[in-house]
Structure 1
Amino acid sequence: MSSAPSRSRSTPDDPLAAASQTAVARIVRELRGLDALNPVVLIDGQSGAGKTRLAAALVRQWPSSGRVQLVALDSIYPGWDGLEYGVEIARQDILVPHARGLMGVWRRHDWETDAPAEAHAVDPSLPLIVEGSGIITAQTLRLSDIAVWVEAPEEARKRRALLRDGDTYRPHWDRWAAQERGHIRADEPAQHATIVVAMP
Structure 2
Amino acid sequence: MARDLTEDAALVLDLVRARPATLGRGRLVSIDGPAGAGKTTLAGEVAALAPGAVVVHMDDLYEGWDGLPDVDRQLTGLLRPLSDRLPGSYRRYDWDAGSFAETVTVEPAELLVLEGVGSGCRRHDDLIGVLVWVEAPYDLRMRRGIERDGEAFAPHWEAWAAAEEVHFTRHRTRERADLVVDGCR
Task: Identify whether the pair has TM-score above 0.5, normalized to the shorter chain.
Answer: yes
Q: Could you list the per-position Cα deviations for residues 37-74 of structure 1 after superposition, in whole angstroms to 9, with x for gaps in the alignment?
A: 51111110100000001101110011xx5x21111010
Aligned to 2:152: 168
**What residue number does 1:60 align with?**
48
CA RMSD, Structure 1 to Structure 2 (Å):
1.5
2:26 paired residue number: 38
- Percent identical across equivalent pairs? 35
Question: Conserved in 2, the CA contact under 8 Å of 1:73 and 1:131?
Answer: yes
Match of 1:23, SS state, is helix
Q: Does the residue aligned with 2:63 lie in a helix, a strand or coil?
A: coil
Q: Distance in 2 between matches of 1:75 and 1:156?
A: 23
**Residues 1:130 and 2:118 are matched in the alignment:** no
* Pairs aligned (count): 179
**Secondary structure of 2:127 counterpart:** coil
| Equivalent AA in structure 1 for residue 161 of structure 2 | A
Alignment deviations for residues 89-108 of structure 1 (CA, whole Å, 9 cap, x no partner): 11x11111111222111111
2:67 counterpart residue number: 82
TM-score (norm 2): 0.90
Distance 2:36 2:115 in 1: 12
Any conservation in 2 of the 1:19–1:199 contact (CA below 8 Å)? no
Once residues 122 and 138 of structure 1 are traced to their aligned partners in structure 2, the CA distance between those partners, rounded to angstroms, is 21
Work out the CA distance in 2 between the residues paired with 1:44 and 1:19. Answer: 18
SS at match of 2:65: coil
Whole-angstrom distance in 2 between the partners of 1:19 and 1:158 = 22
Are 2:53 and 2:109, in contact at CA under 8 Å, matched by a contact in 1? Answer: no
Cα deviation digits, residues 116-161 of structure 1 (max 9, x gap): 1122111124421111102212212111211111111111111111
The answer to whether the 8 Å contact 2:16/2:28 transfers is no
2:180 paired residue number: 196
In the alignment, the residues of structure 2 paired with residue 109 and residue 42 of structure 1 have an alpha-carbon distance, to the nearest angstrom, of 20
Deviates more, 1:50-59 or 1:81-90: 81-90
Q: Which amino acid aligns with 1:22?
A: E
Given the two structures, how large is their TM-score scaled by the length of structure 1?
0.84
How many Å separate the matches in 2 of 1:87 and 1:47? 17
Listed one character per residue, the Cα deviations across residues 152-192 of structure 1 (whole Å, up to 9, x for unaligned) are 11111111111111211011000111110001211111110
